[in-house]
Structure formats: C-alpha cells, structure tokens
C-alpha cells in the first residue's frame, strides 16, 4: 500500500513476500522497486480502511465488549479477556474462535494472548503467518519480545534506519539503550516506543464504544396505505438521522424502514445506496422504488426509520456541512416571482430607525437578496411585540374594576390584569403627542399592547405580544 500513486509515494504496508526482499514501510516506491522489479502497489482509500476497521471491531465485540482499534496502525486491535473465563476456560479456545470468525468474514488474522499490551502487539507483528499464539507466562512474553525485529513494529522509518546503521535491530537491543539520549537523537516517537519496550509505559485499554444504529419512529393515528404519505413521514425522520451520522463522520450505508401494520404484521424495507451517502434526495428516490413493490393492504400504524452508518470521505462530509437546510437560491427565485407579480416593493424588510413613537422606529426597505441568519444564544427568550399597521380604536374603558373590558372579542374574554402606564411623549415640532402605554392580559392568556391618547382622549390597540 502506498500513500500516493507516484514514484515518490511512501509505502504504508508491505506483505511477507516484500519483507523477504528487503522492502519495508517508509521506503519510497521507487526505492522499493530497486529491491524487486515484481513489486506491485496501490492506494487504498481512507473510507475503505475505516469500513474494514469497523467491520473487524464489530466481529471482535462478539467475543469481548472491550475492543480498542489502534488508530496509528489500522488493522491492529487490542482486546480484553477479563471476565471471559466462564465462557472460555482455555484462552486458546477463545483465540481460535475469534480467528475462525474473522476468517469467515474474509480476514486473515494473527491472534496473540499475552500479559502486556506492547508485548502482545510486538509478538503478533513479528509472526510471519496467520495463526494463534497463547503466551504461557510474563517471563516468556518478555523473552519473545526481546527477539522481535524493530522493522516489525510501527517505529518511525527514519529512526529505524538510523538504529539499524548502529547495529540496533531488535526490541531487546533497543530497550537496552539508555532512555536519556533516545528523544534527543531519534525523536519523540522513538522515545515513546522505548518506554513501551522497557515497560516504563503500559497504557490501559481504551475501548471504543460500539456505534449504535440510529432509529426514529412515529405512531400513526390512522392506518395509512398511501405510499406518498409514508414517504413523506420517512423523509421527515431521515433528515435528523443524516445530520447525526454526519456529526459522527459517517454516511448512510443502509436505510431500514420498518412498517407496523394494523393486523400486527411487521415488514422491513431495506435500501442501500451505491456507496455511503448523505444525500436525502438520492436515498428517498431509492426508497420510493422499493416501496412500490410492498403490499400495504392492511395499512401502516407505525413507521420506524433506522440508519446504518459507515465512515464517510471528508469531501462528502464537507459538502453535507455546507449544504444549508434552506436553499437560498430557491428563496431568491421565489422572491423574484413575487416581485414580478406584485411590484418591486412587494418584498421588504424592517430596518430600525431613530424615532420616539413605536410605529416610527422602523422603516420598510426593499430586499434584493437574502442575508444568512446569524442567530445568537440567549439565556432567556424575549417576548415579541407584533404591531398593527395602524393603531386600532378600542371601546371606552369602563370606570369600575374589574371592568370587563373587551379588547379582542368574546373569544379572548375581558381584561384580567393591566400593567402600566409607560409614558411616551414628543413631536412638539409637528404637534405634541402624549400616550400612556399598557400591557393588558386577557382571560384567554393573550397579551395586548394598548395606549391611551391624552390629546384625543381615546384608547387604541397598538399590537399584541407573543
């Protein structure tokens, strides 16, 4: 495997035939060809590697819940056998069962059961062929570890070659070197491996949690047999699942729609895109075709949507994150149609203005294009005042309390409480204005914004609060 398809591309992984020819990871493809003209190399995409890692991890979780994929070296897994003695009294049987299960899925594996993390890892990497090895004791593990060639473990290639020039070719020779000079001469990565080899560092297992399938469901009030209606419901459930998959760095590999019918029958509908995808339109088109073949005579009373994910390429995740839930181009086309039908001033927005009276504190200006919203997080929601185009005259307020004052008809009931006044005055240069503003709570719970105009001696409704 190479990182890029060029003569300068670096080898990431080599098989046993290549190792026997002297070819090692870290060499350039051109350099490796000088060792063997029969060398063949290819690029394996990150998505394929991640999908394979997840598949192996899933198989391993059938034998132990504690599985840690080793991120620096895809294909290396650390497993815990703690608590499995009741199921597998002999560790060799557990290892053989695991290897057999991996083989059934098409994976060749080397399984080593040891006592320390690095010791088991190095012994497994040193094995030249697939198989199982159970280390009898910690002493035996230490002895086997000292004989492991440095070229077999994931040490930095530059440090490996420099150490080989000094005659340091095995883990035992490497661990015998004084720790103090390793970092200065060979770098932090080699120093970290030295601490692992000497036992100064033995990190605990950090199992990766299994990714649970994402499921959303919906109970229907009435049995539904219309496929278009079911597609609409499935799409409504699918979109949040796609966002959740994208937040995990995954795309949808398979969609499972479970239909619970009125007579108790359950039916599964499965669709798989050609490759893991986050495009809801593509996925729904496949689901539409699949639903055409499903019999829905009894009617559906429950619909469940399950999204099974797989690692997604970075490019696809970036495209998904850049795609807004609302299409600004579609909005611009809609606004153009409204302007064409009702005139250039039909689409406007409010702009704040400097004035005393509430109705004069904003102006309407035409909108040519939509500006992306920039919402802010707030500690508490604020009430919004909705203003009428013109203040609405109100009936005279009775003088006795409770007054039974009806502001918005019988359906909202009379005024229960009123808060105020809040005085607003000004405009002396054109004609003085003096208003007493109040917030009136009606029996229905609705809030109205009203004022008393002192000059006209009348009540008006400015708007409502919601």
| pLDDT tens figures, 99-122 | 999 999 999 999 999 999 999 999
Q: Output the pLDDT for position 180.
A: 83
Domain 1-41 coded CATH 3.40.1170 = yes
Q: Are 442 and 408 in contact (CB under 8 A)?
A: yes
Is the full-model pTM beyond 0.85? no
Q: Output the pLDDT for position 427.
A: 62
| 28 token code pair | 């350039």
Task: Tell me: pLDDT of 136 over 70.
Answer: yes
Q: Are 299 and 338 in contact (CB under 8 A)?
A: no
Q: Output the pLDDT for position 421.
A: 85
Tell me the Cα Rg of the chain: 36
Domain 215-322 coded CATH 3.30.1490.100 = yes
Count Cβ atoms within 10 A of the Cβ of residue 73 and give its class: 0-12 exposed, 13-18 middle, 19 or more buried. middle
169's CB contacts (< 8 A; 6+ apart) are 149, 150, 151, 163
Task: Tell me: pLDDT of 97 over 80.
Answer: yes
Where do the structural domains in the chain lie, given as residue ranges? 1-41, 46-198, 215-322, 327-375, 385-465
CB-side neighbour CA atoms (13 Å) of 432: 4
For tokens 């890029």, what's the residue?
Answer: 4
Helix, strand or coil for residue 392?
strand
Q: Are 306 and 253 in contact (CB under 8 A)?
A: no
Average pLDDT value over all residues in the chain: 84
């Amino acid at each position: 495997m190479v990182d890029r398809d060029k003569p300068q591309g670096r080898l990431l992984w080599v098989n046993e035939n290549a190792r026997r020819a002297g070819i090692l990871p870290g060499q350039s493809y051109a350099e490796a060809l000088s060792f063997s003209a029969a060398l063949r190399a290819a690029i394996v995409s990150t998505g394929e590697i991640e999908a394979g890692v997840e598949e192996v991890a899933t198989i391993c979780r059938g034998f132990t819940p504690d599985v840690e994929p080793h991120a620096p070296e895809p294909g290396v897994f650390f497993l815990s056998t703690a608590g499995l003695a009741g199921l597998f009294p002999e560790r060799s049987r557990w290892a053989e069962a695991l290897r057999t299960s991996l083989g059934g899925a098409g994976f060749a594996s080397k399984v080593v059961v040891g006592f320390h993390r690095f010791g088991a890892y190095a012994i497994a990497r040193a094995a030249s062929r697939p198989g199982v090895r159970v280390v009898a004791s910690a002493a035996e593990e230490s002895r086997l570890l000292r004989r492991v060639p440095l070229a077999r473990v994931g040490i930095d290639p530059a440090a490996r070659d420099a150490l080989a020039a000094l005659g340091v070719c095995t883990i035992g020779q490497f661990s015998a070197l004084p720790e103090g000079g390793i970092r200065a001469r060979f770098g932090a990565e080699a120093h970290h491996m030295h601490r692992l080899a000497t036992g100064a560092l033995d990190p605990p297992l950090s199992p990766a949690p299994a990714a649970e399938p994402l499921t959303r469901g919906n109970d229907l009030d009435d049995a539904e047999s219309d496929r278009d209606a079911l597609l609409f419901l499935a799409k409504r459930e699918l979109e949040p699942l796609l966002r959740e998959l994208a937040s995990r760095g995954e795309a949808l590999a398979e969609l499972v729609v479970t239909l619970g019918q009125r007579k108790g029958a359950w039916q599964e509908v499965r669709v798989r895109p050609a490759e893991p995808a986050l495009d809801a339109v593509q996925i729904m088109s496949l689901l539409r075709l699949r639903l055409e073949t499903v019999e829905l005579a009894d009617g559906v009373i429950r619909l469940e949507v399950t999204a099974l994910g797989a690692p997604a390429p970075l490019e696809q995740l970036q495209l998904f994150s850049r795609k807004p839930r609302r299409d600004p181009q579609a909005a611009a086309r809609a606004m153009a149609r409204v302007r064409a039908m009702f005139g250039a001033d039909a689409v406007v927005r409010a702009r704040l203005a400097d004035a005393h009276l509430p109705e004069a504190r904003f102006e309407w200006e035409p909108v040519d294009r939509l500006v992306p919203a920039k919402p802010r997080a707030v500690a508490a929601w604020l009430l919004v005042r909705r203003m009428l185009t013109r203040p609405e005259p109100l009936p005279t307020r009775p003088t006795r309390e409770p007054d039974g004052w009806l502001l918005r008809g019988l359906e909202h009931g009379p005024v229960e409480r009123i808060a105020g006044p809040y005085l607003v005055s000004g405009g002396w240069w054109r004609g003085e204005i003096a208003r007493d503003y109040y917030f009136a709570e009606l029996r229905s719970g609705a809030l109205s914004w009203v004022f008393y105009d002192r000059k006209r001696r009348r009540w008006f409704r400015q708007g409502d609060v919601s």
